[in-house]
Each structure stands twice: as structure tokens, then as C-alpha cells.
Amino acid sequence: MNLQELLAKVPLLLSYPTIILSSNLIVPSHNDLISRAASTSAAEYADEKLIFFSTDHAIRLIFLPTFVASSFNLFAHYFNFINYSSRRKYYVLFTAIYFLSILTAIFHPIQSTCITLLIIKLLTTADESSPKIALNFKTILKTFVPFITLTLVILRWDPSFDASSGDVNKISTSLAAYALLILTLRYASPLILSTLSSSIGVVSKDTSVAQHSISRNKRFPLILVLPIFSFVLLYLMTIVNKTYNIQLLMVFVFFGCLSIFFLSLKDLFTEDGNQKKGGQEDEYCRMFDIKYMISYLWLTRFTILLTGIMAIVVHFLSFNEITSSIKTDLLSLLFVVVAEYVSSFSNKQPDSHSHNHAHHHSHLTDSLPLENESMFKQMALNKDTRSIFSFLLLNTAFMFVQLLYSFRSKSLGLLSDSLHMALDCTSLLLGLIAGVLTKKPASDKFPFGLNYLGTLAGFTNGVLLLGIVCGIFVEAIERIFNPIHLHATNELLVVATLGLLVNLVGLFAFDHGAHDHGGTDNENMKGIFLHILADTLGSVGVVISTLLIKLTHWPIFDPIASLLIGSLILLSALPLLKSTSANILLRLDDKKHNLVKSALNQISTTPGITGYTTPRFWPTESGSSGHSHAHTHSHAENHSHEHHHDQKNGSQEHPSLVGYIHVQYVDGENSTIIKKRVEKIFENVSIKAWVQVEPQNSTCWCRATSMNTISANPNSLPLQPIAN
């Protein structure tokens, strides 16, 4: 299952740096405003500088961190990641995220990403045996001296650096931030760890206390009120000072990536929960369990390195640069490498405590279940759909990255592509929900179960693919007559290549997912696969056409690539539509057709039976001869006689066909014997049938016109003497 962990971890690599970057961009930074104000006259600049500075400080140090920290806690609570059993826990976590948010504002986003990950790793791998001295002063200094050096060198080598007071203040601010960070880790980390541990300990002593804390948690309004209040304050601040603008799109991206972040973490934890079943259902082990999960599942070897690289990529996409010069670019990359090295150095500590963590490991208990929770668990636990679910998270994370990029770069070529990716996520979600709902038992509304839901989802995906193909064709024809000159081809290449990588991960996830299931959801998986393939071909087409346009400067290659891609998608979607249509029409294949014919032949040759009407039999599952779900009928339980023993055996054989038939018998025969014979015939060929036995002379809706014919037939008279 190491492969599955890798799939579940990829969305984390992408969503975490996007969270840090988008949280800073909710309100434009001071440097952006200064660069804009530089275009005004120097006289106004001298006057407005002081006003901007104080307002920017208020936003940066008070309002924005409050909003970020409270939103983080709100999402953690909503996704049931942290159980707030006491208010003190909320305050401690709130304060921690608050200061981390300030750090992200002071440092460069790439450095912020690496430093915050390292802090989390240090805290989760701290020694538990001596809580009073959680982190050694010497260890902290060893950890942060390289970062301090690199930060100062990067600031010094910045081309915009000069001897003016502003930049010297920037260096002083960074040094002060590092000093505050070191002191906090040295003296405040015991408080953090003891708060979390002691609050858990208090709860575990008494079950009624736990229930009381749950009920009290519902009356804890700060979780919901504080984000709204801080957002309103931010909004009022921007109204008062018209220079600032809240970027609602960045708020949307921030919330979306928080969702992806917590969903991906739960995906990882569910995976580990599968491997180790059972265990202690104790709340005391919950906190240690979370720390164990974070240190052994998320922040494993090379995680900080990969996340740092992702941060560099995201920053490049958003600002078209990493830093202002090539020297500082290399230094930032060195910063990422040093962060990984330092973390691997500190990684030696958990090895000596692995036996302790294994002792405290237990399955996650959800004391606050939600309705979404059950659907999420079914998606994540189902072997067929969990790989696709991980890919859905990755796809959604990449969609938010594209939104971020389309906003920052102001070249809106990828805005519609991002929305198109939202449509693909909807399609993936449709397939996942169908895969989960197929397992539901029969109900009053669906007496034959939802076995055909996968086929219906495949058909729906086929129809959506046809719509996408039509859109591609129309756009391609439009571009043939009205060519568009592409300007930012480099950016288009980068984003298309990233999209290609994301889709290749999706194809890989599909192969991994298809390896497990036995073909029950064949059409459903095929529909999902075609959507991923369509996106992959789209990315390949964009890359090739962009390269050709750069070489030849002919814009005709773009519509030609679109037409080819649309044709390929169409050719792959039509067989899916045909097979799903045939299955939904309840068509029998040759094997089942001969099965029914054999049964009908036996019925017609049974003595005492004069005929049959309305033989309607259809497959219980669509298009698969694998295992079928047994229909739960309590009818068999009512017969305790040995006489009906065969019927029970028949129901256990998982019939491949289900249907009904009306059988007519001669008037002198015993209807019970006739019925038993017919049922025996159907049991032998694994058909579940409702059988209605009728005397030949009786009336029925299935022979509404035959009675008139019989009564009008003069030949009925000479037949009677022979019968006598």
C-alpha cells in the first residue's frame, strides 16, 4: 500500500504551498502598493508613505492573521480533524497558527513553506519522556542557524537592496522574527504539548465528561463567529482605505485548498486505519495518533523537499519569477535543500521512539460524525474508488492552482481551462458516487437494487464527453476562420505540462484502481477513464501545438490539434455509449439468451402444461458475469419444511437473471405440482422467477384477446368428445 500513500500524498504537496501563498494574497502586500504608488508624484509619495505603512501593519499583524487562524481552525473542526474538547485547546492552536501566519508575511513564501513544515515536524517528533524540556536549545540553534544565514544572504544579494533605512529594517525584522521563533520553540513548546496532552487526558478519564464536552462543543460559538467577524473587519478596513482590496478569488482558493488539505490528510489516515484494524478505542491515544500520523505518513523523508519544490513552481506560476535575480533563485533552491537535510538530520529522533508510538497506536475514532463523513469513508475505503478519489483531490487542488495563476498573471487563457477542470471534477465525483451507491441494498423505490447505476454513470459520462467534443469542434472551427495569436506561449507550455503530469497521475491511479476490482463497475470505470484520457490528450495537444506555433509562427496548428483531439475522444466515447445503452435496455447476450430458451423449452415439454405467456427475464447486473449481489427476500425464511429445501439452495446460487412468467395448465392437473416443476426448471438454470400458474380456461390480462377467440372458435365443440 505504499503506492496508495504516494497517490494520497500528492494533493498535499500541491495544496499546502498554495494555502500559504493564497493566504498572503487575500490582501495585496505592501510592496505591491509601494510599486504602484511610485507612479504618482514624489510629493504625494512622501505624504502617503506613513499612512500606508501604519495601515499595512494593522492589516498584516492583526486582521489577516486572525482571519487565517480562525479559518484554519474552522476547517479543521468541520472536517473532524481535531476534536475541540476544551476552549484552551482552541486558543493554543489559534495562537500557533496566528504567529505562523505572521511569519509567512515576513518571509518569502518559499521560505515560509519550508520553515513551517520544519516546525511542525519538530513538534510532532519531540521527546515525550521529558515534557518540561521538549526541545533542546542546542538542537534549535543547529536547526535554524543555516536558515538565518541563507535568509540574510538572500536579502543582501537582492538587486533592489540598498543602504536605505527600509531594507535595513527588513533585515532587522527577519532577525527579530528568527529570534522570536527560537525563543518560542524553546520555552513555549512544552506548553503546547502539555496543553494538548492534558486536555486529552482529562477527557479520557470519564465518559460522561467526554459526552459533556461534545455537547459543550456545540455551544462554542467562537469557532464560527471569529472567521466571520475577522472577515468583516478586513472588509471594513478595505472600504475605509480604498487602496486595499480584498481578493475574493483568493479567499475562494484559500478555502478550497484548506478543504483539499484536510481531505488528503484524512485520506492518508484512513489508509493507515485500514492496515491496522482494531486497536484501542481510546480518546487518550487520539492525540498521539494524530502526531504519529503527521510524522510517519505526511512528513516523511523527502516531503519537505518536494513541498518546497512545489512552492517554487506555484510561486513561479503566480509571479513569473521565483525571486528578483538568478543568484537569489539558486539560493532559494539551496534553502529548500537545506531544509530537507536538516529535517532528515532531526529525523533520527523518531526511530528511537517507534516502539512507544506503536504502543499508543489505535484506529481513529470519530466522535462527531457527519453525513458527509459516511460518504467520504465509503469512497476512501472502497477498493474500487479510493484511487480515483485521491486523483479527484489532486485534480481539484490543481484547479485551485490554475485559478491562482489565472488571477495573478492576468492572462485569462487558463481561466476557462480551470472551470473546465471543475467540470471534470464533477464528472469524477459522479463516477465515485455511483461506485459507492451501487453497493446499496434494494429498497422500496429501487426494488432491484442499484446495480445498473454504474452503467448509467458510464452512459452519463459518455453524453458529457459528446458535449465536450462538440465544444471542441465548434471552437476549433471558429479558430480556423478567426485565428488568435498566442502571446504567452511559455506560460502556456508550463501549465500544459503540469496538467499533463496531473493527468498522467490520474491514468496511473486508474490502472491501480482497475487492478483491484473484478469488473463489476466496468462501464463506470470506463467512463471515468475516458474523461481522464480526454484531459491527457488535451494537454498533449496543447503542448504540441504550442511548440509548433513557436517554431513556425503559424496559428493553424492550434485548431488542427483541437480537431484531432476531439475526433479521438469521439471515437473512444461511442463504444462506451453503445455498450451502456445495450445494458440499460436490458438486452440479453447469447449465453443468457440460450439459458432462457432452454428453460422455456423444458417448460413447454412438461406434461400438464399447455403454454406460457409473457416470459420477461433480464440480467440482475449489467454486462458482467462476475459475482452478483444476492437479493434479500424473506420469502424463503417462511418455509421451514424440507419440501422447500431446493428453493433455499436456488437462492444461494446468485441468479444471473430475474423475471416473471405466466404458465397455463390443463384443468385437471394439480396447480401445486405444476408450479413446483416450473420452479425447479428455473432453479436449475439459475433464474429467479415469479411464476403465476393459471388454469387454461381462466382469464388473465396477458391473454385478454384469446378468450374472445376461444369462445368464437367453432372447433372447440368437436374437441370435447375426444377429451372425454
Q: Scan residues 381-440 and list those touching other proteins (CB under 8 A).
A: 406-407, 410-413, 415-416, 419, 422-423, 426
Q: How far is the CB of 202 from other proteins (least distance, A)?
A: 47
Q: State the Cα angle at 390 between 386 and 391, rounded to 5°.
A: 115
Q: How far is the CB of 359 from other proteins (least distance, A)?
A: 49
The grid coordinates listed for 723 are: 377429451
Which residue, among 17, 199, 206, 242, has the nearest Cα to 90 in the 3D structure?
A: 199
Q: Is 370 in the site for other proteins (CB under 8 A)?
A: no
Distance of alpha carbon 534 from alpha carbon 542, whole angstroms: 12
Q: How far is the CB of 644 from other proteins (least distance, A)?
A: 8
470-499 residues near other proteins, rule: CB under 8 A: 471, 478, 482, 484
Position 538: which residue type?
G
Q: How far is the CB of 607 from other proteins (least distance, A)?
A: 7
The grid coordinates listed for 496 are: 500544459
Q: Is 207 in the site for other proteins (CB under 8 A)?
A: no
Q: Is 711 in the site for other proteins (CB under 8 A)?
A: no
Which one, 190 or 413, has the nearer CB to other proteins?
413
Distance of alpha carbon 348 from alpha carbon 355, whole angstroms: 14
Distance of alpha carbon 444 from alpha carbon 434, whole angstroms: 19
**Among 614, 625, 649, 652, which residue interacts with other proteins (rule: CB under 8 A)?**
614
Distance of alpha carbon 463 from alpha carbon 431, whole angstroms: 13
- Angstrom CA distances, 65 to 34, 70, 295, 605, stand at 22, 8, 26, 84
Distance of alpha carbon 559 from alpha carbon 477, whole angstroms: 7
539-558 residues near other proteins, rule: CB under 8 A: none
Q: Is 460 in the site for other proteins (CB under 8 A)?
A: yes
**Among 138, 445, 515, 553, which residue interacts with other proteins (rule: CB under 8 A)?**
445
Q: State the Cα angle at 230 between 228 and 236, rounded to 5°.
A: 100
**Among 336, 450, 492, 573, which residue interacts with other proteins (rule: CB under 8 A)?**
450
**Among 593, 627, 645, 648, which residue interacts with other proteins (rule: CB under 8 A)?**
593
Q: How far is the CB of 652 from other proteins (least distance, A)?
A: 18
Q: Is 243 in the site for other proteins (CB under 8 A)?
A: no
Using the 8-state DSSP alphabet, how is residue 643 labeled?
G
137-156 residues near other proteins, rule: CB under 8 A: none
Cell numbers 523527502 label which residue?
A: 302
The grid coordinates listed for 546 are: 504550442
Q: Is 27 in the site for other proteins (CB under 8 A)?
A: no
Q: How far is the CB of 525 from other proteins (least distance, A)?
A: 19
1, 275 contact by CB (below 8 A): yes
Options 50-58, 84-92, 526-534, 700-708: segment touching other proteins (CB under 8 A): 700-708
Tell me the backbone φ, ψ of residue 690, rounded to 5 degrees.
-90, 125
Look at residue 7 and give its three-state secondary structure: helix
Strands 609-619 and 657-665: antiparallel
- Angstrom CA distances, 558 to 470, 479, 483, 653, stand at 16, 8, 9, 57
Q: How far is the CB of 445 from other proteins (least distance, A)?
A: 5
Look at residue 661 and give its three-state secondary structure: strand
**Among 333, 493, 543, 588, which residue interacts with other proteins (rule: CB under 8 A)?**
588
**Among 31, 35, 581, 625, which residue interacts with other proteins (rule: CB under 8 A)?**
581
679-698 residues near other proteins, rule: CB under 8 A: 690-696, 698
Q: Is 708 in the site for other proteins (CB under 8 A)?
A: yes
Is residue 63 exposed (0-12), middle (13-18) or buried (19+ Cβ within 10 Å)?
A: buried
Q: How far is the CB of 210 from other proteins (least distance, A)?
A: 37
Q: How far is the CB of 239 from other proteins (least distance, A)?
A: 14
**Among 25, 182, 464, 573, which residue interacts with other proteins (rule: CB under 8 A)?**
464
The grid coordinates listed for 579 are: 455498450
Position 554: which residue type?
W
Which residue, among 429, 117, 455, has the nearest Cα to 303 in the 3D structure?
A: 117
Q: Positive or negative, the Cα torsion across 321, 326, 327, 332?
A: positive
694, 706 contact by CB (below 8 A): no
Options 43-51, 115-123, 525-533, 610-618: segment touching other proteins (CB under 8 A): 610-618
Which one, 51 or 707, has the nearer CB to other proteins?
707
Which three-class secondary structure string do you get for 446-511? CCCCCCCHHHHHHHHHHHHHHHHHHHHHHHHHHHHHCCCCCCCHHHHHHHHHHHHHHHHHHHHHHH
Q: How far is the CB of 526 from other proteins (least distance, A)?
A: 17
Options 100-108, 293-301, 302-310, 705-713: segment touching other proteins (CB under 8 A): 705-713
Q: How far is the CB of 614 from other proteins (least distance, A)?
A: 7
308, 339 contact by CB (below 8 A): yes
Q: How far is the CB of 87 from other proteins (least distance, A)?
A: 38
Which one, 194 or 692, has the nearer CB to other proteins?
692
Q: Is 463 in the site for other proteins (CB under 8 A)?
A: yes
**Among 3, 35, 36, 372, which residue interacts with other proteins (rule: CB under 8 A)?**
36
623-682 residues near other proteins, rule: CB under 8 A: 632-635, 638-639, 641, 659-662, 664, 666, 671-672, 675
- Angstrom CA distances, 344 to 134, 233, 234, 341, 389, stand at 19, 42, 40, 5, 31
Q: Is 587 in the site for other proteins (CB under 8 A)?
A: yes
Which one, 354 or 709, has the nearer CB to other proteins?
709
Q: Is 39 in the site for other proteins (CB under 8 A)?
A: yes
Q: Is 41 in the site for other proteins (CB under 8 A)?
A: no
Q: Is 37 in the site for other proteins (CB under 8 A)?
A: no
**Among 160, 275, 607, 711, which residue interacts with other proteins (rule: CB under 8 A)?**
607
Q: How far is the CB of 636 from other proteins (least distance, A)?
A: 10
**Among 47, 371, 444, 642, which residue interacts with other proteins (rule: CB under 8 A)?**
444
Number of residues that bind other proteins (CB under 8 A): 108
Which one, 140 or 251, has the nearer CB to other proteins?
251
- Angstrom CA distances, 36 to 39, 244, 251, stand at 6, 12, 23
Q: Calculate the CA 512 to chain-centre distance.
A: 16
Options 203-211, 256-264, 344-352, 699-707: segment touching other proteins (CB under 8 A): 699-707
Distance of alpha carbon 516 from alpha carbon 497, whole angstroms: 29
Which one, 213 or 546, has the nearer CB to other proteins?
546
Beta bridge partners, 689, equal: 659
Q: How far is the CB of 524 from other proteins (least distance, A)?
A: 13
Options 53-61, 86-94, 332-340, 607-615: segment touching other proteins (CB under 8 A): 607-615
Q: Is 582 in the site for other proteins (CB under 8 A)?
A: yes
Q: How far is the CB of 208 from other proteins (least distance, A)?
A: 38
Distance of alpha carbon 695 from alpha carbon 18, whole angstroms: 75
Between the two ends of the chain, the Cα-to-Cα distance in Å is 77
Options 77-85, 314-322, 341-349, 451-459: segment touching other proteins (CB under 8 A): 451-459
Distance of alpha carbon 29 from alpha carbon 56, whole angstroms: 8
Q: How far is the CB of 674 from other proteins (least distance, A)?
A: 11
Look at residue 62 and give its three-state secondary structure: helix
Distance of alpha carbon 294 from alpha carbon 357, whole angstroms: 12
